[in-house]
Amino acid sequence: MRRFALALALARAAGWGAAEVEFNRDVRPVLSDKCFSCHGVDAKAKNIALRLDVEAMAKADLGGGRRAIVPGAPEASEMIRRINSESKAKKMPPVFTGHGLTDAERATLTEWIRQGAKWQKHWSLIPAVRPAVPAAKGGNAIDAFVRARLDKENLKPAAEASRDRLIRRVTLDLTGLPPTPGELREFLEDRSPHAYDKLVDRLLDRPQYGERMAMRWLDHARYADSNGYQYDGERVMWRWRDYVIDSFNRNKRFDQFVMEQVAGDLMPGATLEQKVATGFQRNHRANTELGIVAEEYQVEYVIDRVETNSAVFLGLTFGCARCHNHKYDPLTQKEMYQFYAYFNNVPEQGRAMKYGNSPPMIADPPQHQREAMKQIEREIEQTRQGLRADPRRVSVWRQSLAGDGLRYWHPGFDLKRKLSFEDPEQTRANAGIVQFVPGRIGRAVQLDGTAYLDAGFATANFDIEDRFTVAFWARSEKTPDGALFSRANDKPRGRGFGLEARQGHLHVHFTSDYDDDAIRMTSDDAVLAAGRWHHVALRYTGSRMAEGVRVYVDGMPVAMKVELDNLYRPLNNGGKEFPEPLRIGAGGGPNRRFAGQIDEMLIWARTLAEEDLALLARGELLRDQDLDSRPVREAWLESAAPAAQQALWKKYVELEQKREALERSYPTVMIMAENPRRRETHILIRGEYNRPGEKVEPGLPSFLPPLPAGASNDRLGLAQWMVARDNPLTARVNINRFWQMLFGTGLVKTTEDFGSQGEYPSHPELLDWLAVEFMESGWDLKHMVRLMVTSATYRQDSRTTPELTQRDPENRLLAHGPRLRLPAEAIRDQALAVAGLMEKRVGGPSVKPYQPAGLWEEQSMQNMDYQQDHGEGLYRRSLYTYWKRTIAPPMMVNFDASTRESCVVRESRTNTPLQALNLMNDVTFLEAGRQMGRRMLQEGGATDEARIQYGMQLLLARQARPRELAVLKESLSYHRDYFASNPARARQYLNKGESPLDLRGKPVEQAAYMALASLMMNLDEALTKD
Amino acid sequence: MHPLLATRRHFFRRSATGIGLAALGSLLDAEQAPVHPRLPGLPHHAPKAKNVILLFQHGAPSQLDLFDWKPALAARRGENLPDSIRMGQRLTGMTAFQESFPTAPTIFRFAQHGQSRAWLSELVPHMAAQADDLCFVKSLHTEAINHDPAVTFIQTGFQLAGRPSFGAWVAYGLGSENQNLPAYVVMVSQGSGNTQALADRAFGSGFLPTKFAGVKFRGGADPVLYLSDPEGYSREARRRYLDDLARLNQIQLDDYQDPEIATRISQYEMAFRMQASVPELSDLSQEPESTFALYGPDSRKPGSYAANCILARRLVERGVRFVQLFHRGWDQHSNLPKEIRTQCRETDQPSAALVADLKQRGLLKDTIVIWMGEFGRTVYSQGTLTETNYGRDHHPRCFTAWMAGGGFKGGLTHGQTDDFSYNITADPVDLHDLHATILHALGVDHTRLTFKFQGRHYRLTDVKGQVVQPLFS
């Protein structure tokens, strides 16, 4: 009896009012935390017979009649004997684990067995059923559940917050920005009973709502503008961010939002938007370090997806079963790898591109580029109308060519250089013997294997993003061997590009750094034979990838083996000139000179069509070409058509170039795709990439429901399963996170873990009600957010008392409204907004606002430097700030932003001196203070008091109390005197930031108001929604 | 009177009229209590040391050219590394396709030093002079073969991002002894050799609250980001500003009774104190000539490794728990002889001076100094081996670190490697062991310093780690 009393007392002390021990709430957390790591799903691997995570096994006869748990009889239960044992050898949990039981925990287990040891399935795995809403006066369903709990605790809800607190709270929560004085006035003057509801509707309709919701989604998705790991070069994923903002703003069904990000590429008739959505799966870090083992990181990317998807959508920690069975949840290692298999079929490389995106990816032009493209295409179409060649005229022209025996055909436009070798003055021979001999067309150059021709520095200055084509004829007595041409350092493995014959094979390279930063490929076959002329062409699309490089021999594309496909940095010495000229017959050092003949080398600054190259390789006179062929028509338009048509042709060519340039400027997004042949997945023994074990197929863990009927067993099926009605987790986990966003702590505090180590919900029925409402509303997120922010619970005053704080420090019982420090983004955005500096355009590329000098240089490679923006880029909302993973924006880090190295779903808030320094001394906040001070002076009225009150309205959406007003006035007059006593200081102090500063006014007055505005921005209240 | 105390008086005087007692109480607490207290139950046992200075040689210095003397290699110069030694071990992508693996003995002379007769290379004469205070571990090994994961592993106990750094764990467990400075301070200096990137995560707080993250002290005007008041704004003005701010926050605290407001007030006071204590700390002008003579000529240059070593001593003097230096530029894949000379010129004297300086001030017994990189380097040459030149690739299977002070046995050499400094032949020590050992010296049982995250009780040593008792005297 004494023990029972103790249990009861402890249960009460723990905050549970009732004497009935409930397995899920009271017992499982103890068993999980203290026992499952040995007596759980991994027990067998440790040769431990007893399992406490499965009821039948926990209550089974262990031999000799001993049973760990004998319902109703704690004294007969081995478990109770062992947890109370005095013997070091018998004591459970063993001392060495460091996980001793507390008295309260022992009491709970004892009492639970006494009450019959009733077992329950883990609460989060039981599909949510809509619970009956408790009877309550006023408020919505949320309030009924919250009040029922408060009643049990003998607590009363707080009164409704004042209207000015309400508008500030809800505006910050739904848009991440404070209300303007105008919005404040409108709301305060609206006396209708629905004024607050209308306000909420207005806020939900604002584009800033989508931005606000996106802030946390970017954390979950580990979004960043750089790759992470060692090099941490830039990537381009902002179109995915645009997708997220837009989806929240359009209130896309949340199930759709989830499915698109998991498997948008596999949805029937997948749209560009749906493909872009899968960028979620590619936002993980990517390693580009020279010398990594690519397979190792390919595994890491998939593991990252497993961790992210299981945390964000399911609230589970699947990654924990990478090396062994899960210690706590009923997930085997094999099941982990089955889940992994869904994400392991992407045509991706373990070693990623150093700068820019790594395949698979897709171009996704934003609206203004789409419109520009439409315009160009319209113009092209119009121009094309006027370009019809008159066959009769073409025929006449062709006849006229008959006498010109040397008019060999070649495409004319964008031809940058023609080396026909008819005139030796075109080029300079270096040492050695160079002769000009009869060749394929007129004369050719003959090289002896030691000499080369120098074609000058002005030619072929192409870099990695330039398109070009080089075509020529070549012949050698022996099997061709040696460099054909190059624009590269004269040494093996040198920087630059070139084409080389290797015993009849062709080798092409684009080299910035031979090992690390290059494209290299060699033809599968020996394509050049001895003793005959071959037409050879190299064309490049400027894609920086091997797929953009193609080699043709005699008009036919050559099959190439890619040796390295990793080109990032410019070839020509960082934008300066190549150290060597275009050299014909040389490249790769003195030992690789070519012996043979080269003729008719043509160089274009564009990628020729295959059709052009095929014709070119025929090496025919123009008059022998097909009259109707496109190239001939084009030659006519270019050189023989009537003047008007020639002009139109020129315009057409320019338009085509414009179209190409625009297309190439499209931002891309890394997306998901599937290998045509599924990549095999194996269990990795101890999680190590190079220790594959049993082969597995994609599949779901057995403790979760199966795929929906008819769903395919791939990522698309998985996506459908995640949002299926009988999935017990997705709706609960996600609505819990939105709750966390508004109330500071989730109903389940461990937002990242709904497994057995996770916390039991503070309001289980409310969580289920919300989850069911979410699903049954058609996953209508705005509806859910509206429900939460219009609840009386949310609208409570946030004042508390020491007694309440002591009893419920985290306000889990919700006896008052939320009072929480703002997220990092909102603190900066609020400053920009009240300063009138904010550039509110929604979406677009990331920007680089102020950052202390040298931060990147100190830690990054190759002096990667932070190039701060000027103008608009300084004042965009913080979710657009360029995020470099290894050196994140310092203000964001100071205010607890996640580092975006991996998925983070729990919000955290600290309170540190570095934050104080940041807000007092960072140019961002000083400039905002200057501009807010200016607004107080210019817009606030005629008196100090009116101006101070205006500042209070701008920043805090309320009037100053008399005591506050007194302090603020004193502070203002102090600063006025301070600056007046030394006006030079005022000028220095005001000189912060790049926004305009007018010093013709009264600098002392401006500086005093700037100091006051800075002080106000540093108020606890300014950093807090209350 | 100390200026801070004067400030306090000023504040109290004002508070008699404007500030409620509740805030006063919290301010007093804040001033007397350290920045963050130690965890309950810590230390687990009597500590041997209170502070750590980790001298991280970023990029991985060559054990073969500094510490791990292999005289037999001279005769094998240029020979291919025997397969019996390499045993098919994985190589980085930089040398995996190299056609041969020519053995490259060091070109530097080694000699024995001190009573302990420790072998050290001519590159580190100052360390040599200090040899009897240094405890060498020649049998360290790691799992990672590339910089980013290897640094992350040493710094956080795990190769992948997301876990708290060593210093953050120590700050979390043992708190700070100084109310004006952070518990964990980081300084980065630039070497002259081949440089690798250094991520913030190397000194981040991972899943621990951000207040435990390393605070970076930098050379230059703002030793801590945003530390300096803006131009045109005096200390007196800032004091007045903070007093007014506190009065306003107090009004809000009286009304809302949210203890976070009291914390905010105290954090602003700490910020004010840091604005005085950090410049005072960073100002080396009051150091005597003898200090600069001891630490070498670079020590007058702010931001240099040598200057940072002096700062490390000053931080420890002020009770900062964990000081970490990173010196970049040790990644010598090619031109090793030339680059290692300059790297050693930058680091040898200051590292040794720090040990000597702490010792002469009686601080070494309470302070553990650790000198190490993220892995070792290969015995075979990366690239062409010539009479005067070679390079070395990454080598995770063995490398050397030394510890000094804090109960570590000076003059000891622990662990052995084979004749090629390729494999460990006796007493291997992995990084979890090293972490466990240093925590042990700090009075912490590494298995009991845990933080629950995602359902798991995480610890610095993951699921491993053995204290290496023989290292202690």
- Residue in B95, B147, B455 closest to A230 by CB: B147
- Inter-chain contact B268–A913, Cβ cutoff 8 Å? yes
Examine the domain organization and report whether B325 and B435 are in the same domain: yes
Chain B: nearest CA to A753, how far in angstroms? 6
Which chain A residues are Cβ-neighbours of B213 within 8 angstroms? 893
In which band, very low, low, confident or very high, does the pLDDT at B98 lie, cut at 50, 70 and 90?
confident
Residue A1001: per-residue pLDDT: 74
B296, part of any domain: no
Contact at CB, A230 and B227, closer than 8 angstroms: no
Contacts of A987 in chain B (CB under 8 A): 232
Residue B284 counted as domain residue = yes
**Are B100 and B3 found together in one domain?**
no
Contact between A432 and A450 (Cβ < 8 Å): yes
B396 with B435, same domain: the answer is: yes
Residues of B in contact with A566 (CB under 8 A): none
The dihedral through the CA atoms of A365, A370, A374, A379 has a sign that is: negative
Q: Which chain A residue's Cα is nearest to B93?
A: A291
> Closest-CA residue in chain B for A753?
B454
B97 or A653: whose pLDDT is higher?
A653
Query: What is the per-residue pLDDT for A7?
Result: 44
Nearest by CB: A914 against B200, B215, B247: B215
**Is pLDDT at A863 greater than 80 in this prediction?**
no
Order of strands, sheet of A505-513, starting from the edge strand that comes earlier in the sequence: A428-429, A453-454, A583-584, A482-488, A496-502, A505-513, A517-523, A560-566
* Residue B21 reports pLDDT greater than 90: no
Q: What is the pLDDT of residue A664?
A: 87
Mutate to test the interface with A, among B145, B201, B210, B452 (most CBs of A within 10 A): B210
Percent over 70 (pLDDT), chain A: 95
Q: Which residue is closest to A1004 within chain B, CA to CA?
A: B232
Contact A902 B162 (CB under 8 A): yes
Nearest-CA neighbor of B272 among B233, B310, B323?
B233
Question: B59-87, pLDDT tens digit by residue?
Answer: 999 999 999 999 999 999 999 998 888 88
Across the range A911-939, mean pLDDT stands at: 97
Residues in chain A within 8 Å Cβ distance of B200: 859, 886-888, 893, 899
Same domain for B117 and B151?
yes
Residues B318 and B402 in one domain: yes
pLDDT for residue A405? 46
- Do B410 and B313 lie in one domain? The reply is yes
Instruction: Please report how many Cα atoms fall inside a 13 Å half-sphere around the Cα of residue B379, on the Cβ side.
Output: 28
Q: Which of B333, B303, B93 has the alpha carbon at shortest distance from B196?
A: B333
Are B10 and B88 found together in one domain? Answer: no
Which of A1017, A921, A1009 minimizes the C-alpha distance to B233?
A921
Task: Using the predicted structure, report yes or no on whether residue A292 has a pLDDT greater than 90.
Answer: no
Query: In terms of domains, do B201 and B342 share one?
Result: yes
Neighbours of A1026 (CB within 10 A): 24
Mean of the pLDDT values across residues A861-877? 91
Q: Which of A232, A293, A798 sits opposite B90 (nearest CB)?
A: A293
Chain B hits for A989, CB-CB cut-off 8 Å, are 230-233
For chain B, the C-alpha Rg in angstroms (whole number) is: 24
First-residue to last-residue Cα distance in chain A:
47
ipTM at complex level: 0.87
pLDDT tens-digit readout, A559-607: 999 988 888 778 875 556 788 899 999 999 999 999 999 999 999 998 9
Could you give phi then psi for residue A876, rounded to 5 degrees?
A: -85, 160
Same domain, B134 and B266: no
List, in order, residues 6 or more apart from A433 with CB less than 8 Å away.
Answer: A448, A450, A451
- Contact flag B233-A985 (C-beta cutoff 8 Å): yes
pLDDT digits (tens, 9 = 90+) for A734-774: 999 999 999 999 999 999 999 999 999 999 999 999 999 99
Say which of B162, B258, B265 has its CB closest to residue A800.
B258
Instruction: Tell me what the pLDDT averaged over chain B comes to.
Output: 90
pLDDT confidence tier of residue B6, bands split at 50, 70 and 90: very low
pLDDT of A18 above 50: no
Q: What is the pLDDT of residues B124-182, one digit of tens each?
A: 999 999 999 999 999 999 998 889 999 999 999 999 888 999 999 999 999 988 888 99
Q: Is pLDDT above 80 for B5?
A: no
Secondary structure (DSSP) of B268-297: HHHHHHHHHHHHHHH-GGGS-HHHHHHH-G
Pair (B328, B187) in one structural domain: yes
Q: Which residue type is seen at A39? A: H
Band of residue B99 on the pLDDT scale cut at 50, 70, 90 = confident
- Distance (Å, whole) CA B391 – CA B388: 11
* pLDDT reading at B30 higher than 60: no
Q: B249-283, pLDDT tens digit by residue?
A: 999 999 999 999 999 999 999 999 999 999 999 99
Q: Which of A96, A974, A1020 sits opposite B240 (nearest CB)?
A: A974
Cα distance from A901 to chain B (closest Cα, Å)?
6
Does A986 sit within 8 Å of B260, measured CB to CB?
Answer: no
B271–A890 CB contact, under 8 Å: no
Identify the pLDDT of residue B434.
Answer: 98
Res A622: pLDDT: 67
Mean pLDDT across B406-423: 96
Cβ distance B226 to A800 less than 8 Å, yes or no, reads: no
Residues of B in contact with A910 (CB under 8 A): 209-211
CB–CB of A917 and B218 under 8 A?
no
| Chain B residues lying within 8 Å of A975, measured CB to CB | 237
Residue B215 sits in the same domain as residue B270: no
Whether the pLDDT of residue B12 is over 80: the answer is no
pLDDT tens-digit profile of A150-202?
A: 999 999 999 999 999 999 999 999 999 999 999 999 999 999 999 999 999 99
- Residues in chain B within 8 Å Cβ distance of A968: 244, 248
Nearest CA in chain B to A980: B232
Domain ranges of chain A: 2-120, 160-205, 410-619, 921-1025
A986 CB neighbours in chain B (<8 A) are: 232
pLDDT at res. A11: 46
**Are A971 and B226 inside 8 Å of each other by CB?**
no
Residue of chain A with shortest Cα separation from B230: A921
| Residue (of B383, B471, B454, B435) closest to B173 by Cα position | B435
Instruction: Among B26, B229, B248, pick the best mutation site for testing chain A contact (most A Cβ within 10 A).
Output: B248
Axis-axis angle for helices A944-956, A962-980 (nearest 10): 110
Q: Which chain B residues touch A978 with a CB distance below 8 Å?
A: 234, 237, 240
Q: How confident is the model at residue A43 (pLDDT cuts 50, 70, 90)?
A: confident
A288 neighbourhood in chain B, CB within 8 Å: none
B231–A861: do the CB atoms touch at under 8 Å?
no
pLDDT, tens digit, 9 for 90 and up, residues A85-142: 988 888 999 887 777 899 999 999 999 999 999 999 999 999 999 999 999 888 999 9
Greatest Cα pair distance, chain A, in angstroms, is 121
Specify the pLDDT at position A404. 57
A244/chain B closest Cα distance in angstroms: 25
Q: What is the residue range of B250's domain?
A: 1-33+227-290
Taking CB atoms and an 8 Å limit, are A230 and B196 in contact across chains? yes
Residue B9 has pLDDT above 50, yes or no: no
Q: State the pLDDT at residue A3.
A: 43
End-to-end Cα spacing for chain B: 43
Domains in chain B, number: 2
Contact A753 B196 (CB under 8 A): no
Round to whole Å and give the CA distance between B219 and A337: 48
Residue A627: pLDDT over 70? no
Closest partner residue to A899 among B90, B190, B201, by Cβ?
B201
Q: Min CA distance, B152 vs chain A (Å)?
A: 10
pLDDT in tens, B363-407: 999 999 999 999 999 999 998 899 999 999 999 999 999 999 999
Query: What per-residue confidence (pLDDT) applies to A860?
Result: 87
B226 and A922 within 8 Å at the Cβ level: the answer is yes
How many other C-beta atoms are found inside a 10 Å radius of the C-beta of residue B369? 29
Which domain CATH number covers B71? 3.40.720.10
The pLDDT confidence band at residue A640, using thresholds 50, 70 and 90, is confident
When scoring B90, B159, B258, B263 by the number of chain A Cβ atoms within 10 A, the one with the most, hence best to mutate, is B258
**Assigned domain for B465 exists:** no
Last residue within a domain, chosen from B290, B312, B340: B290
Count Cα neighbours of B196 within 13 Å in the Cβ-side half-sphere.
Answer: 30
User: Smallest Cα–Cα separation from B347: which of B191, B134, B168, B458?
Assistant: B191
| Inside any domain, residue B466 | no
- The residue of chain B nearest to residue A912, with distances taken between CA atoms, is B267
Q: pLDDT, tens digit, for every residue of B205-246?
A: 999 988 899 999 987 778 999 999 999 999 999 999 999 999
Cross-chain CB nearest to A805 (options B148, B257, B452)? B257
Decide if A908 and B210 are in contact by the 8 Å CB cutoff.
yes
- Residue whose pair of structure tokens reads 């993980």 in the numeric block: A284
Count of A-B CB contacts under 8 Å: 247
How confident is the prediction for chain A on average, in pLDDT? 91
Task: Classify each residue of A604-630 as buried b or exposed e, where b means 16 or more C-beta atoms within 10 Å of its C-beta.
Answer: bbbbbeeebbbbbbebeebbebeeeee
> What is the average per-residue pLDDT within A958-983?
97
What is the DSSP code string of B108-136? S-EEEETTTTEEEETT-HHHHHTGGGEEE
pLDDT in tens, A483-497: 999 999 888 888 999
Residue A989 to residue B231, Cβ atoms within 8 A: yes
Residue pLDDT, tens place only, A420-436:
888 766 566 565 568 88
- Quick check: B25 pLDDT over 80? no
Question: Quick one: average pLDDT of A361-390?
Answer: 93
Which of 2.30.40.10, 1.20.80.30, 2.60.120.200, 3.40.50.10420 would CATH assign to domain A410-619?
2.60.120.200
Set of chain A residues whose Cβ sits within 8 Å of the Cβ of B253: 1020
Test B251 with A819 for CB contact under 8 angstroms: no
Residue A639 CA to residue A411 CA, distance in Å, equals: 11
Closest-CA residue of chain B to A757: B455
Q: Which residue has the higher pLDDT, A998 or A152?
A: A152
pLDDT in tens, B163-179: 999 999 999 999 988 88
Nearest CA to B119 out of B54, B193, B68, B189 is that of B68
